[in-house]
Amino acid sequence: MSGSLQGRTCAITGGGGLIGSFLVDDLVARGASVVVVDDFSKGRRANLAHQAEAIEIREVDLEQAGSALDALEGCEIVFHLASRAFGVGHGAGRHWEILAHNEAITNNVLVAVARQRPDHVLITSSSCVHRDDGPDTVGELPLFDGEPEMANWGYGWAKRFLEQKALVVARETGIPMTLVRPFNIFGERYAWAGNSSQAIPMLVKKVMDGEDPVIMWGSGEQRRTYLHASDCAAIMRSLVEAGWTDGPVNIGLAETVTVRELVETICRVAGRSPELIADTSKPEGRFVKSSDPTRLMQAVPGFKPSLSFEEGIRRMTDWYRQEFA
Ligand SMILES: NC(=O)c1ccc[n+]([C@@H]2O[C@H](COP(=O)([O-])OP(=O)(O)OC[C@H]3O[C@@H](n4cnc5c(N)ncnc54)[C@H](O)[C@@H]3O)[C@@H](O)[C@H]2O)c1
């Protein structure tokens, strides 16, 4: 499919979550009829409260085969985002648990897709499918090239299996599928998960709590590319409008900031000046994680983030005030 999503019925699995809830806003603004499928294990109804009149919510645990089967009924387009996703500190010792949960979701969603036959499906994989020792700026590497990112090993395998299984279903059913591999996505609808939280919310909390010194995991010199969840959602919608099926697309840019620069930005926005200390005994993941945007620019010509990094961080300090006030 390609073209406007106006008037189309779009399911968003994981629509109560960080990226999913921004996708809800994006699609509603474009006149789509939106169905959120979520068990709210991590996503929040509060993320959708402002759209209560505009959307349908189906509270479904996609790990349960029976309930998942009907979850996509009547939906013409499916954006599949639901997954068990946490920060890098969560994975250690839990790789099998994470893999097993995500495999159950994958299998059930793909069976439901094959049964409901939507016109188009977007599958959300992750940059974690990429090997650790690839180039610093990663293009869309082949799926089964070495091990996936070791800090997120079980999750990376789950995403590899998701991509491969989706390709099999796409080929057998003829349903066009768009595969995306987001890099580091952040935003103010993040559900705090304690020590399992992702880096930006974790560091925003440390600074805003007034910790001094602030301990950074790893060397602090590791580099990441960051994108706000609203921009990630806009890319997902644009790819489906464009009917993109020509290989997986990285959602990320080449520009990076170091963790130290990230903390300095948080401190500047928050008006704090703690001492910064690097704790190299903690995992830092791969040293540079940056995305080659060549294919993204081919698929979504002219894409530019709508928010500056600093504005995104300012929103995260607002998030802290709401979350922990
Ligand atoms: N945020 C990132 O940096 C990032 C990077 C790469 C890939 N991704 C992927 O993007 C997608 C969205 O990520 P996010 O950051 O919005 O995560 P999130 O945790 O905020 O959203 C995931 C949503 O899935 C729901 N969910 C989990 N298990 C479910 C189940 N069994 N049944 C129904 N719903 C269930 C959660 O309640 C939540 O609303 C995920 O697939 C994630 O793996 C995210």
Please check whether residue 119 lies inside any domain of the structure: yes
The answer, yes or no, to whether residue 95 has pLDDT greater than 70, is: yes
Q: Smallest Cα–Cα separation from 19: which of 225, 248, 196, 187? A: 187
Q: Are residues 237 and 132 in the same domain?
A: yes
Q: So what's the pLDDT on residue 90? A: 73
User: What CATH number is associated with residue 218?
Assistant: 3.90.25.10
How many domains does one find in the chain? Answer: 2
Q: How far is the CA of 2 from the centre of ligand 1 (A)?
A: 25
User: What CATH number is associated with residue 116?
Assistant: 3.40.50.720
Burial class (CB in 10 A: 0-12, 13-18, 19+), 249: buried
Q: So what's the pLDDT on residue 217? A: 85
Cβ neighbours of 105 (radius 10 Å): 23
**Residues 151/87, Cβ–Cβ less than 8 Å:** no
Q: What are phi and psi of 279, to 5 degrees?
A: -110, 95
Please check whether residue 4 lies inside any domain of the structure: no
Q: Are residues 47 and 112 in the same domain?
A: yes
- Give residue-wise pLDDT tens across range 37-82: 999 999 999 999 999 999 999 999 999 998 888 999 999 999 999 9
The answer, yes or no, to whether residue 281 has pLDDT greater than 90, is: yes
- Ligand 1 atom showing the smallest separation from residue 15 Cα: 39
Mutate to test the pocket of ligand 1, among 12, 36, 37, 38 (most ligand atoms within 8 A of CB): 38
Confidence of residue 260 (pLDDT cuts 50, 70, 90): very high
Burial class (CB in 10 A: 0-12, 13-18, 19+), 66: exposed
The answer, yes or no, to whether residue 1 has pLDDT greater than 70, is: no
Q: How far is the CA of 271 from the centre of ligand 1 (A)?
A: 32
Report the pLDDT averaged over residues 296-301.
Answer: 98
- Ligand 1 atom showing the smallest separation from residue 80 Cα: 41
Q: Are residues 128 and 207 in the same domain?
A: no
Q: Which helix (DSSP H) or strand (DSSP E) does residue 59 occupy?
A: strand 55-59
Mean pLDDT check: name the lowest of 23-32, 203-212, 283-292, 298-307. Answer: 283-292
What sign does the CA torsion over 18, 20, 23, 27 have? negative
Q: So what's the pLDDT on residue 283? A: 76
Q: What is the pTM of this model?
A: 0.97
Q: Which residues pair with 126 in a beta bridge?
A: none
Q: Are residues 56 and 171 in the same domain?
A: yes
The residue segments making up the domain with residue 63 are 9-188+226-253+291-305
Please check whether residue 14 lies inside any domain of the structure: yes
**Residues 249/313, Cβ–Cβ less than 8 Å:** no
Q: Which helix (DSSP H) or strand (DSSP E) does residue 237 occupy?
A: helix 229-241
Q: How far is the CA of 184 from the centre of ligand 1 (A)?
A: 13
Confidence of residue 2 (pLDDT cuts 50, 70, 90): low
Which residues are near ligand 1 (CB < 6 Å)?
Answer: 14, 16-20, 38-43, 60-63, 81-85, 105, 124, 126-127, 182, 184-185, 191
Nearest CA to ligand 1 atom 2: 185
Q: Are residues 129 and 214 in the same domain?
A: no
Q: Are residues 34 and 159 in the same domain?
A: yes
Q: Are residues 269 and 240 in the same domain?
A: no
Query: What percentage of the chain reaches a pLDDT higher than 70?
Result: 98
Q: Are residues 266 and 125 in the same domain?
A: no
Q: So what's the pLDDT on residue 88? A: 66
Integer Cα distance of 86 and 265 in angstroms: 23
Q: How far is the CA of 211 from the centre of ligand 1 (A)?
A: 29
- Give residue-wise pLDDT tens across range 20-36: 999 999 999 999 999 99
Nearest CA to ligand 1 atom 12: 81
Please check whether residue 310 lies inside any domain of the structure: no
Mean pLDDT check: name the lowest of 161-165, 197-201, 298-302. Answer: 197-201
Q: Are residues 199 and 130 in the same domain?
A: no
Mutate to test the pocket of ligand 1, among 22, 42, 138 (most ligand atoms within 8 A of CB): 42
Please check whether residue 296 lies inside any domain of the structure: yes
Integer Cα distance of 138 and 252 in angstroms: 10
Report the pLDDT averaged over residues 180-206.
Answer: 94
- Ligand 1 atom showing the smallest separation from residue 62 Cα: 32
Q: How far is the CA of 83 from the centre of ligand 1 (A)?
A: 4
DSSP 163-217: HHHHHHHHHHH---EEEEEE-EEE-TT----GGGS-HHHHHHHHHHTT-SSEEEE
- Ligand 1 atom showing the smallest separation from residue 190 Cα: 20
Q: How far is the CA of 124 from the centre of ligand 1 (A)?
A: 9
DSSP 77-102: EEEE-------HHHHTT-HHHHHHHH
Q: Are residues 120 and 97 in the same domain?
A: yes
Q: What are phi and psi of 218, to 5 degrees?
A: 80, -160
State the amino acid at position 106 in one-letter form.
T
Q: How far is the CA of 14 from the centre of ligand 1 (A)?
A: 6
- Give residue-wise pLDDT tens across range 210-250: 999 999 989 999 999 999 999 999 999 999 999 999 999 99
Please check whether residue 98 lies inside any domain of the structure: yes
Q: Are residues 158 and 212 in the same domain?
A: no
Residue 82, both tokens: 């639901």
Q: What is the mean pLDDT of the chain?
A: 95
Please check whether residue 151 lies inside any domain of the structure: yes
Q: So what's the pLDDT on residue 125? A: 98
Q: So what's the pLDDT on residue 285? A: 75
Please check whether residue 1 lies inside any domain of the structure: no
- Ligand 1 atom showing the smallest separation from residue 185 Cα: 3
Beta-strand pair 223-224/257-258: antiparallel
Q: So what's the pLDDT on residue 93? A: 83
Helix axis angle for 199-208 and 259-270, nearest 10°, is: 40
- Give residue-wise pLDDT tens across range 105-157: 999 999 999 999 999 999 999 999 999 998 999 999 999 999 999 889 999 99
Q: Are residues 71 and 124 in the same domain?
A: yes
Report the pLDDT averaged over residues 315-324.
Answer: 96
| CA distance to 38, 58, 65, 124, 183, per residue, from 61 (Å) | 7, 10, 9, 18, 26
